[in-house]
């Protein structure tokens, strides 16, 4: 048999649930499913959005092609009168980082969150019609994580009623802002506000970078690209830029003034709005990154699962077929937790979107009470989901053996494009340390203040510290209350232990720095409580479709018990579990894998990924892997000729022992 077509047809027949209903559960609603299905097909059927050749293009060609795709997408948005939601889906399915990501996900949200009503009235219509193109210029050559350490200055000049934006040092050069090197006409530039020689914190300013007529940089602005990034294709469609300002004047009303204002006289006015709102755009994008993690992980898992069902190695009996690699328990124990994680991240992402919408409405009404919780959740879940997704994509590459390393598997480019998510919008360790601050504060207040929101479980601190797990059989692990309580007890015990050890330090900041590695682990434990609990909450809702809920329950247990197994050191060290109970959880996990196995292909089909989005020969819907791999090899431009450039010049002289006289 040449290809794997028959294997996947048989696999699909094994499904024990209604795949169409699972597609709806994955999408969130029938309407959401239909919407994304329609846009996915629109993109897949449009030759301009072809992306298979992307890794073979040089940087300039790659970039120009990306500009063409964006222009074509914008034309479609106008011609088809697509809504903002449809336009976002269009960008997602085009699957190519571009300046529009910054325009829609950072420039516009920054003005919405930090601009005054007047500023919003002026700038938002221009930006939404793409009459100005904006980016987000915060990070500098010398500082990214430490926002308060930024060096760019914005000095008020009362004579002209302007701010003077200046880069006083090499390290103050803006470095990384996407869309900036070649495209954006404007940027939100974060700079130190200086009034009458006094520093008043870091603020955002709308700065015009380029002439709107001929696109040349304005006087005083030096701008360029920071160079090639990791991987071919991948993030190199984006023009991440460097900008240097030489005393660039902008009108006073281009400082984003919702949080603080500068008067005509140059006086600083701090409103009741907390200064942390200046970081609000990052909270928004972190939430979006969490919501998007399941999209990336599910792509890799879909490829690895389909290929694992097609691929056979060893174990042929009496000349019959060999074993499908998906039937190896080792393959299942690496693959199925990732499949379950994709579903877990999908549901926690959905919840975080709800939380963010709620916080946004409160902020608009000047209620800032839930901001610390929103910050801790978005920072922590951004860190947890992106680290797990990046590691998961790489694991999927290995699950595909040698062929996973081929660009045509779709995995290398996916990995290269995804992995910076562990760094941008806040380095993942730095983000977990923000969660740690929040946890330490929560624990220190336990005696007199009831924790709320995602830390509410710590109200039961006494019980969680004293009681132990009661599981006696592997079967008893199949109880959501038992599982969630194990995670809550481990998290509470780790946070309280950190609190007790911190209390021994005279200087709390010194203690925090000394214990930071343990604090990051405690923060991860807390974030895992959130993911596990939100999965359970999802299961408590009505989920229509034959067998859908049962399969999601299986995936929940796979996700949770896999984590328990992976982190069993914590569960044992905190004394909540005995080694016997941890071993029973692992026994249950093996049973669960066999429940996933017949449904594996149907579970990845439920993601409803088109072949265009996957861009993977190994993950093709029809499973026709081998003929297509063979065909792709000979379609590679490198195989255009049997004699490659350079063979006559450098190889033949060697073969003929004529290298001494060859012109090298
Ligand atoms: C795969 C991609 C998928 C989807 C992507 C979709 C769209 C994305 C589009 C493009 C992506 C590409 C571009 C990426 C862009 C960027 O990377 S932009 C730059 C991002 N930069 C950062 O994230 C910097 C990280 N650093 C910080 O956030 C801060 O400096 C800090 C680490 C939080 C420390 O800040 P600071 O020193 O001022 O604060 P502290 O003293 O530590 O804290 C003071 C109190 O404030 C609280 N705090 C901090 N941040 C926030 C916040 N955002 N909101 C609310 N509150 C906040 C903090 O907890 C302290 O509270 P306290 O303890 O009670 O005092
Ligand atoms: C693809 C990509 C796109 C980007 N796009 C943009 C953009 O559009 N606009 C923009 O403004 N920026 C952008 N950035 C920049 C990005 O936001 C920063 O790189 C990021 O915030 C990390 O900051 P850093 O580079 O200063 O890392 P650093 O903070 O220098 O990190 C280096 C190491 O130090 C560790 N570390 C740092 N501080 C601490 C601490 N307090 N405790 C313990 N460990 C610590 C980190 O964990 C890390 O291991 C982009 C970056 C990338 C990769």
**Residue nearest atom 6 of ligand 2, based on CA coordinates:** 177
User: ∠ at Cα 650 (647, 654), nearest 5°?
Assistant: 105
Cα angle 186, 188, 194 (rounded to 5 degrees) comes to: 120
Task: Report how far Cα 377 is from the mean position of its chain's Cα atoms.
Answer: 14
Question: How distant is the alpha carbon of residue 77 from its chain centre?
Answer: 25
C-alpha 517/C-alpha 523 separation (Å) is: 10
> In this structure, which ligand is nearest to the CA of 418?
1
Q: Closest Cα to residue 281, out of 345, 188, 146?
A: 188
Query: In sequence order, what are the residues at sequence separation of 6 or more whose Cβ sits closer than 8 angstroms to the Cβ of residue 26?
Result: 33, 343, 346, 606, 607, 608
Tokens of 475: 């079967």
Q: Ligand 1: distance of its center to the CA of 266 in Å?
A: 28
DSSP conformational letter for 325: G
Summarised one tens digit per residue, pLDDT across range 438-458 is: 999 999 999 999 999 999 999
79's CB contacts (< 8 A; 6+ apart) are none
The tokens describing 219, both together, are: 């006087």
Report the distance separating Cα 584 and Cα 491, nearest Å.
21
Tell me how far the alpha carbon of residue 354 lies from the centroid of ligand 2, in angstroms.
27
Give the residue among 571, 279, 509, 531 at the shortest CA–CA distance from 380.
531
CA distance 96 to 208: 26
| pLDDT tens-digit map of 73-128 | 999 999 999 999 999 999 999 999 999 999 999 999 999 999 999 999 999 999 99
Q: Which residues are annotated as a binding site for FAD?
A: 139, 178
Most distant CA pair in the chain: distance in Å? 92
Name the token pair of 607. 């993601």
Structure tokens at 121: 């009235």
Centre of ligand 1 from the C-alpha of residue 59, in Å: 31
Catalytic entry in 96, 373, 425, 488: 425
Burial bucket for residue 344 (CB in 10 Å: 0-12, 13-18, 19+): buried
How high is the pLDDT of residue 55? 87
> How far is the centre of ligand 1, averaged over its atoms, from the C-alpha of 434 (Å)?
9
On whether the CB atoms of residues 591 and 570 are closer than 8 A, the answer is no
Q: What is the CB < 6 Å shell around ligand 1?
A: 101-102, 105-106, 136, 138-139, 144-148, 178, 276, 279, 282-283, 285, 288-289, 292, 371-372, 375, 418, 421, 424-426, 430, 434, 437
Point out the ligand 2 atom lying closest to the alpha carbon of residue 102. 8
Structural contact between residues 551 and 16, judged by C-beta atoms closer than 8 angstroms: yes
Best of 183, 360, 424, 520 for a ligand 1 pocket test (most atoms within 8 Å of beta carbon): 424
CB 424 near ligand 2, within 6 Å? yes
Backbone angles phi, psi at 641, to 5 degrees: -135, 150
If DSSP states are collapsed to H, E and C, what string results for 85-148?
A: HHHHHHHHHHCCCCHHHHHHHHHHHHHHHHCCHHHHHHHHHHHHCCCCCEEEECCECCCCCCHH
> Which of 523, 330, 548 has the alpha carbon at shortest distance from 442?
523
Distance in angstroms (rounded) separating the CA atoms of residues 178 and 166: 20
471 torsion bin: left (phi>0), alpha (psi -120 to 50), beta (else) = beta
> Does the CB atom of residue 436 touch ligand 2 within 6 A?
no
Which segments in the chain show pLDDT lower than 70? 1-7
CA distance 320 to 210: 67
Cα distance between residue 153 and residue 163, in whole Å: 9
Element (H, E) at 469: none
Q: Taking the CB of residue 630, how many other CB atoms lie within 10 A of it?
A: 13
SS (H, E, C) 515-531: CHHHHHHHHHHHHHHHH
Q: Is 433 in the pocket of ligand 2 (CB under 6 A)?
A: yes
SS3 of 200-224: EEEEEEEEECECCCCCCECCCEEEE
Q: What residues contact 323, with CB distance under 8 A and at least 6 apart?
A: 312, 313, 314, 315
Specify the pTM: 0.97
Structure tokens at 535: 């999965």
Question: 395 CA to middle of ligand 1, Å?
Answer: 29
CB contact set of 563 (below 8 Å; sequence gap of 6+): 487, 528, 532
425 is catalytic: yes
User: The complex's ipTM?
Assistant: 0.98
* Ligand located closest to 181 CA: 2
Rounded Cα–Cα distance for residues 535 and 294 (Å): 13
**CA–CA gap between residue 377 and residue 431 (Å, rounded):** 10
Q: b/e for 239-251, b at 16 or more Cβ within 10 A?
A: bbbbbbbeebebe
Closest CA to ligand 2's atom 12: 139
- C-beta of 102 in contact with ligand 2 (< 6 A): yes
The separation between CA 297 and the C-alpha centre of its own chain, rounded to angstroms, equals: 9
The verdict on the CB of residue 147 being under 6 Å from ligand 2 is: no
């Amino acid at each position: 048999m040449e290809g794997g077509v028959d294997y996947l047809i048989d696999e699909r027949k094994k499904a024990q649930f209604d795949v169409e209903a699972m597609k709806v559960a994955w999408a969130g609603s029938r309407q959401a499913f239909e919407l994304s299905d329609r846009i996915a097909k629109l993109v897949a059927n449009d030759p301009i959005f072809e992306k298979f050749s992307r890794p073979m293009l040089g940087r300039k060609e790659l970039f120009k092609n990306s500009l063409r795709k964006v222009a074509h997408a914008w034309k479609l948005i106008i011609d088809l009168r697509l809504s903002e939601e449809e336009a976002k889906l269009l960008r997602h399915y085009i699957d190519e980082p571009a300046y529009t990501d910054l325009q829609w996900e950072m420039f516009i949200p920054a003005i919405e969150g930090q601009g005054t009503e007047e500023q919003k009235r002026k700038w938002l219509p221009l930006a939404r019609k793409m009459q100005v193109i904006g980016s987000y210029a915060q990070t500098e050559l010398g500082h990214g994580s430490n926002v308060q350490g930024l060096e760019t200055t914005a000095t008020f000049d009362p004579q002209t009623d302007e701010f003077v934006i200046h880069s006083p040092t090499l390290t103050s050069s803006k470095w990384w802002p996407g869309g900036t090197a070649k495209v954006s006409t404007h940027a939100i530039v974060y700079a130190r506000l200086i009034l009458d020689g006094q520093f008043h914190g870091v603020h955002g300013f709308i700065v015009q970078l380029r002439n709107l007529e001929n696109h040349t940089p304005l006087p005083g602005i030096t701008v360029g690209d920071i160079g090639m990034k990791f991987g071919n294709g991948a993030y190199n469609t984006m023009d991440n830029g460097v900008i240097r300002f030489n005393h660039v004047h902008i009108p006073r009303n281009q400082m984003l003034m919702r949080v603080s204002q500068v008067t005509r006289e140059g006086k600083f006015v701090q409103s009741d709005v907390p200064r942390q709102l200046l970081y609000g755009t990052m909270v928004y994008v972190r939430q979006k990154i969490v919501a998007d993690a399941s999209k990336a992980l599910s792509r890799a898992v879909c490829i690895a699962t389909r290929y694992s069902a097609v691929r056979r190695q060893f174990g042929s009996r009496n000349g019959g077929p060999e074993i499908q690699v998906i039937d190896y328990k080792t393959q299942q124990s690496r693959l199925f937790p990732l499949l379950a994680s994709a579903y877990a991240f999908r549901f926690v992402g959905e919840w975080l979107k709800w939380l963010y919408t709620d916080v946004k409405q409160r902020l608009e009404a000047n209620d800032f009470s839930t901001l610390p919780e929103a910050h801790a959740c978005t920072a922590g879940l951004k860190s947890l989901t992106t680290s797990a997704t990046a590691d998961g994509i790489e694991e999927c590459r290995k699950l595909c053996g040698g062929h996973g390393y081929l660009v045509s598997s779709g995995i290398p480019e996916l990995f290269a494009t995804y992995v910076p998510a562990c760094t941008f919008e806040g380095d993942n360790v730095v983000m977990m340390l923000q969660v740690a601050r929040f946890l330490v504060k929560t624990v220190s207040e336990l005696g007199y203040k009831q924790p709320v929101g995602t830390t509410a479980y710590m109200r039961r601190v006494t019980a969680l510290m004293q009681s132990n797990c009661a599981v006696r059989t592997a079967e008893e692990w199949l109880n959501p209350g038992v599982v969630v309580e194990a995670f809550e007890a481990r998290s509470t015990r780790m946070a309280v232990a950190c609190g007790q050890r911190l209390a021994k330090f005279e200087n709390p900041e010194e203690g925090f720095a000394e214990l930071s590695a343990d604090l990051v682990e405690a923060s991860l434990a807390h974030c895992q409580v959130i993911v596990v609990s939100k999965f359970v909450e999802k299961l408590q809702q009505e989920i229509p479709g034959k067998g859908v809920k049962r399969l999601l329950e299986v995936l929940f247990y796979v996700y949770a018990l896999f984590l328990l197994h992976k982190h069993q050191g914590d569960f044992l060290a905190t004394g909540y579990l005995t080694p016997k109970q941890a071993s029973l959880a692992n026994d249950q996990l093996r049973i669960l894998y066999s429940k996933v196995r017949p449904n594996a292909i149907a579970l990845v089909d439920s993601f409803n990924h088109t072949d265009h989005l996957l861009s993977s020969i190994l993950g093709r819907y029809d499973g026709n892997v081998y003929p297509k791999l063979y065909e792709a090899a000979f379609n590679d431009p490198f195989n255009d000729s049997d004699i490659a450039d350079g063979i006559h010049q450098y190889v033949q002289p060697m073969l003929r022992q004529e290298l001494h006289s060859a012109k090298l």
